[in-house]
Structure 1
Amino acid sequence: MAELRVPPGRAGRMRLRRSLEVARRGADLLDQKLRILRTRHEELLRAEHTARERWHERLREAELWLRRGLLLGGEEALETTASTPPAELETAWTSTMGVRHPRTASCVLPERGPDVLAPANTALFHAGAAYQEAVRAAAEYAAAGAAARAVGAELLATRQRVRALRRHWIPRLEAALAHADLALEQGEHEDAVRRRWAARGSRDDV
C-alpha cells in the first residue's frame, strides 16, 4: 500500500478529500466489475463442465468401438490403419471486462485420401469416426477450461483489489482526513484564542 504524503493545512485536507472520493468511486466500479466477472465465471465453469462430460462421453464411445474392432480383427487389424496428418486447431477469441479468452475452438481434421486403405472391419471404421469426434470435443473442452481459468484469475485479482481498497486504503484515507480536520480545527481555535489575547492586549495598552 502506498505511503500517505499529505501537505499540511487546507491544501492537504483538500487532497485527502479528492483521494478519498477517487478511492470510493474506484471501489464501486471494481464492485460492478466483480459482479460481472463472477456471473461470467459461473457461466464458463458450467460450460467447461458440459464440455468435459461431452469429451468423456465421446472418448468412451471411441474406446468401445476400438475394443469391438480389436475383438473382430485382432491387434494386427490396426496395422492396416494408415497414420494421418495431425489435426489443426482453430480458436476464436473474445473478451470479458478486458480479459481476453477463447470463445470457441474447433479442429480441422484431415480427410482420408483415396489411396489410403480402409479399416479392416466396420467397428474400426466407427472407431476412427468416434475418435475424430473425441478430438473435436477435446478442443472444445480445452477452450472452455482456458476461458474459465482466465476469467477466474481476473476475478481473484479484482476481488483482492476491492478488499485492499475497502479494508485498507479507504480507512487510511478516512483516518488521515479526520486527523487533518481535527488539526485544522485545533489550529483555527488556537488562532482565535491568539487574536482575542492580542485584541485584549491592545485595549490594555490604551
Structure 2
Amino acid sequence: MSLHRRRVPAGRAGRLRLRRSLATAVRGADLLERKLRLLLDREHTARRAAEDAGRMWRERLADAETWLLRGVLLGGEHALVVAAPADRARVDVTWATLMGVSHPAGVDWTDPIRSPAEPTAPNTALAHAETACRAAVRAAANLAAHQAAAELLAAETERTRQRIRALRRHWIPRLQAELAAVELALEEAEHEEAVRRRWASTRTDR
C-alpha cells in the first residue's frame, strides 16, 4: 500500500472514500498482527526444536567420533575405508506452509544399503561407528531443517512487523488526518449553507 499522498475527491464522496480506505487499513493491520502472532509462535517452536536438535547432533557426533577412533586404532585407516558402504544415504526435506511462508517441517532419512558383495566392518568398533555416524548425520539433517525453518519464519516476521509499523505509524494516521480535514470542511460548508438559508429566509419574509 503506497504512502504517497493521494488525490481525494472533495465533499461527501471524498469522505466516503476515506472512510473505506481507513477501514481497510485498520482491518489489514489487524490481520497482519494476527499473522505476526502465528509466525512468532511457529518461529519460537522452530528455534526450540533447533536447540534440541543441536544438542542431539553434538551427542551423536561425539559418539561417532569415539567409535571411529576406536575402530581406526584397532584396524588402521584402511579398515575405515573398507567399512564404508558404497551406497549413499538419502535425505528428503518435508515442507509446511504457514500464512504463505514455506519452511522445512522435518526430514525423511533413508539409510545407505550395503550390498551383499561389499565387505562388512572389519571390527566391532567400526560396526558401532557406522551406526553412530548414521545417527549423527540424521541429527545434522534435522538440525539444518529446524534452523532453516526458524530463519525463514524470522525473515517473514520482520517483514510483517515493518508492514504493521507502516500502517499503524504512517498510513492510518494520515488517513485519519485527511478524513478529519474533509469532515471539518464538510461541517463548515454545511454551517455556511445553513447561514445562507437563514439569511435568504429572512430577506424573503420582509
Q: Does TM, normalized by the shorter one, top 0.5? A: yes
Alignment check: 8 A CA contact 2:107 2:145 kept: yes
Q: Which runs of 5+ in 1 are unaligned?
A: none
Alignment check: 8 A CA contact 1:107 1:135 kept: no
Work out the CA distance in 2 between the residues paired with 1:148 and 1:136. 19
Q: SS in structure 2 opposite 1:179? A: helix
Match of 1:114 in 2: 116
| Cα-to-partner distance string for 1:62-102 (whole Å, 9 max, x where unaligned) | 11111111222222322433452322122222222232222
Residue 172 of structure 2 aligns to which amino acid in structure 1? I
Match of 2:192 in 1: 190
| Cα-to-partner distance string for 1:142-193 (whole Å, 9 max, x where unaligned) | 2111221222222111111111111111100100011101111112222233
Work out the CA distance in 2 between the residues paired with 1:192 and 1:133. 85
- The correspondence for 2:105, drawn from 77, 86, 103, is 103
Match of 1:179 in 2: 181
Match of 2:72 in 1: 70
| Cα-to-partner distance string for 1:92-133 (whole Å, 9 max, x where unaligned) | 222222322222102212211111112232111111111111
Residue correspondences, number? 204
Q: Which runs of 5+ in 2 are unaligned?
A: none
Alignment check: 8 A CA contact 1:106 1:139 kept: no
Alignment check: 8 A CA contact 1:109 1:132 kept: yes
Alignment check: 8 A CA contact 2:93 2:107 kept: yes
Query: Is 1:44 aligned with 2:46?
Result: yes
Spell out the pairing of 1:20-31 with structure 2 (5 A cutoff). 20-31=22-33
Work out the CA distance in 2 between the residues paired with 1:99 and 1:83. 38
For residue 7 of structure 1, report the CA deviation from its aligned partner. 0.5
